[in-house]
Structure 1
Amino acid sequence: MNTLPLFVSAGEALTDMVRTGPNQWTSMTGGAGLNVARAMARLEVPSAFAGAISNDVFGLALQASAQEAGLDPRFLQLNDRPPLLAVVHETAPPDYFFIGENSADQQFAPWNLPSGWDREVRWVHFGGISLARPPLADRLLSLACSLKSAGVRISYDPNFRKLMDERYDPMLRKMAALADVIKVSDEDLVGLFRTDDVRQACASLRALNPETSILLTRGAQGAEFHAGRQAWRAKPPAITVADTIGAGDACICALLYSLMHHPQATGMHHLRFAVAAGAAACLQTGAVPPTLDQIEALAPSVHVTTFAEGSPSCAA
């Protein structure tokens, strides 16, 4: 493999241990960083997941998942440290904790990535719990700063989890300042800014970097896209939902795909494509990213309207 990826997602790959019965657990490959990379590869964009995993049964399953998705294997680093696990002991509503002190993901070495990759890549995505777990968080922040200085575009999805308390605030500010696009859900905003006022939290996020574009997802209510002084709101198409796993990852990947391939298109076009991808991801059970054909089939059914920037939904 000589060509280098156009898209890289950096962060964590982990194993979800989900309680499925009184004494039953099911393991699933996941992690925000890996899921986003798989979703972009599904859109036939040369992609990679940049991160470290354990060299055991859990890590090898993650490696197999990355290979099946067609991700560039040179960006995946294996080591003998323990795996990172997310233990989901309740699913309705979700309740979980992480096991991963001094785990394999913390050994990620950006300096060992393929030579020249940063000159070929067009977008690099950051987010998830990787940015809340030092020393990995510091390495990723340094990498993001270096890429930004080199002119690479940065996307950022905080993907709020319970370990992102006040100690995460400096990272939120720094990554928001670097990002060309920020993807957040309404639940992310409530957690990150520790308020039930989603509109005020969105305004606080915009204040961290008025130049960035924000994709705000709101579940069944659809999504909003804020770019400069323009904003658009979209309602998802009427579908039969199998589950919502992976919808957010599909949504941000489709937005970035649209920005990469149709840079002259309007925000309305970008948002329609992103919302169609989120809806398409809900048509199948599990984290199965949608194909380009599936997204394009749903896009005409997405209703998008323009609203004035500074409106109550996300005041500047």
Structure 2
Amino acid sequence: MLTVIGEGLVDVVQRSSGIEAHVGGSPLNVAVGLARLDHPVQFIGRYGRDAYGESVAAHLKSSSVLLPQGPDALPTSVATAQIDDDGAATYTFDLAWELPGLGERLPFMLQGTTLLHTGSIATMLAPGAAEVLAAVEHAHPSATISFDPNCRPSIITDVDYARRQAEKFVSLADIVKASDEDLEWLYPGEDPLDSARRWLSLGGSEGPAMVVVTRGAEGPWGVNAAGVAHFAAPGVTVADTVGAGDSFMAALLSGVVDLGLDGAQNREDLRELSAGSLRDLLAHAALAAAVTVSRAGANPPTRAELTRMELGEPASPATERQP
């Protein structure tokens, strides 16, 4: 079982053509992406007892994501995405992030988890961030840990605090993915690839096995003990970039699981992954992101769609966004 812990919310997408509302949130999107790639996955997050909350639960269930907890009394969080003429998204947020009583239920909820993913707002915003860190610490002895900071400077404005929080999770993670924009904000004036190399050393022998940097049209770059790897960004017509990084993250993790490298017992084998194998993982993840940007919204590919993309067949821009 794979577990994703973090925020779920509703994206209200504003385009010149009108306004649409879709379920989103970076960790939730990763959970859906993993499920569409045929992995059993559960999502631990919060949503309200309201119409938006009902849509969050329905969206997860429609992609066969398990939801081990019900709604609470707080409103479901909302992110407003403004899409510009180039398809790029900027966000504003109205959200609540807390997981009351999670600590008591964690041993049961994480039983059998071989990989735990988290990131974004969930790892930064109090009071829930402390509960997420506790969940990672609980899972670390038995599960692979993955982390994507997916920084939101409009919510977490204190870059020093954000940097400290990110480094706590990086030092516990086996797989780290960040965008070049994340690293430029966290470490202003530094080359993002140098920042990634430094993250690889955080936590010493218990730190990351790989750090991957997404760089938009330049393609993803990664570093591990064997060296560095790069994959050129696939050429596709961009509808928008919503959810692209989350699809990349889901496919990266899917590739690791497909190699049989999830679970703490495989931590050393993951560390010994060759640079060529790292490049293969980058390619797999980049092609998943390419499918997502070719169609509107955070709509990650199924395994069949990703396989077609890997075989050189076209993406599926006409695929319906699932509810």
Contact 1:276 1:296 in 2 (8 A): no
The whole-number CA distance in structure 2 between the counterparts of 1:82 and 1:294 is 35
| Secondary structure of the structure 2 residue equivalent to 1:86 | strand
Is 1:10 matched up with 2:5?
yes
Deviation of 1:220 (Å): 1.3
Deviation of 1:121 (Å): 1.2
Tell me, which stretches of 5 or more residues in structure 1 are unaligned? 1-5, 302-316
Change (3 A) 1:21 1:268: closer
| Secondary structure of the structure 2 residue equivalent to 1:54 | coil
Is 1:186 matched up with 2:180?
yes
Is 1:272 matched up with 2:247?
no
Change (3 A) 1:256 1:21: closer
Q: Give the corresponding residue for 2:234.
A: 237
Q: Judge which range, 132-141 or 234-243, deviates more.
A: 234-243
Is 1:288 matched up with 2:292?
no
The whole-number CA distance in structure 2 between the counterparts of 1:124 and 1:10 is 7
Change (3 A) 1:207 1:52: same
Q: Give the corresponding residue for 1:170.
A: 164
Tell me, which stretches of 5 or more residues in structure 2 are unaligned? 262-272, 313-323
Deviation of 1:235 (Å): 0.8
Q: Counterparts of 1:1-316 in structure 2 under 5 Å?
A: 6-20=1-15, 25-74=19-68, 76-88=69-81, 91=84, 94-100=89-95, 103=96, 105-111=97-103, 113=105, 116-148=108-140, 150-162=141-153, 163-164=155-156, 165-195=159-189, 197-209=191-203, 211-212=207-208, 213-263=210-260, 266-299=277-310
Q: Judge which range, 181-190 or 162-171, deviates more.
A: 162-171
TM-score, normalised to structure 2's length?
Answer: 0.81
Which amino acid is the alignment partner of residue 87 of structure 1? T
The whole-number CA distance in structure 2 between the counterparts of 1:256 and 1:170 is 24
The whole-number CA distance in structure 2 between the counterparts of 1:14 and 1:117 is 21
Deviation of 1:193 (Å): 1.6
The whole-number CA distance in structure 2 between the counterparts of 1:237 and 1:300 is 13
| Secondary structure of the structure 1 residue equivalent to 2:71 | strand
TM-score, normalised to structure 1's length?
Answer: 0.83
Deviation of 1:197 (Å): 3.0
Contact 1:51 1:77 in 2 (8 A): no
Which amino acid is the alignment partner of residue 51 of structure 2? V
Change (3 A) 1:271 1:88: closer
* CA displacement 1:86-127 (0-9 Å, x = unmatched): 234574664433223xx3x41354246486442311111010
The whole-number CA distance in structure 1 between the counterparts of 2:251 and 2:115 is 13
The whole-number CA distance in structure 2 between the counterparts of 1:157 and 1:119 is 23
The whole-number CA distance in structure 2 between the counterparts of 1:71 and 1:64 is 10
Contact 1:222 1:233 in 2 (8 A): yes
Q: Give the corresponding residue for 1:308.
A: none
* CA displacement 1:196-242 (0-9 Å, x = unmatched): 63233333433434641112111111111222132211013333333
Contact 2:41 2:65 in 1 (8 A): yes
Greater relative CO (CA pairs within 8 A, separation 6+): 2
% identical aligned pairs: 26
* CA displacement 1:255-281 (0-9 Å, x = unmatched): 111111214772232222112212222
Contact 2:99 2:131 in 1 (8 A): no
Contact 2:2 2:42 in 1 (8 A): yes
| Secondary structure of the structure 2 residue equivalent to 1:79 | coil
The whole-number CA distance in structure 2 between the counterparts of 1:117 and 1:80 is 21
Contact 1:237 1:298 in 2 (8 A): no
Change (3 A) 1:140 1:158: same
Contact 1:156 1:175 in 2 (8 A): yes
Which amino acid is the alignment partner of residue 246 of structure 1? G
| Secondary structure of the structure 1 residue equivalent to 2:176 | strand
| Secondary structure of the structure 1 residue equivalent to 2:221 | strand
Contact 2:244 2:292 in 1 (8 A): yes
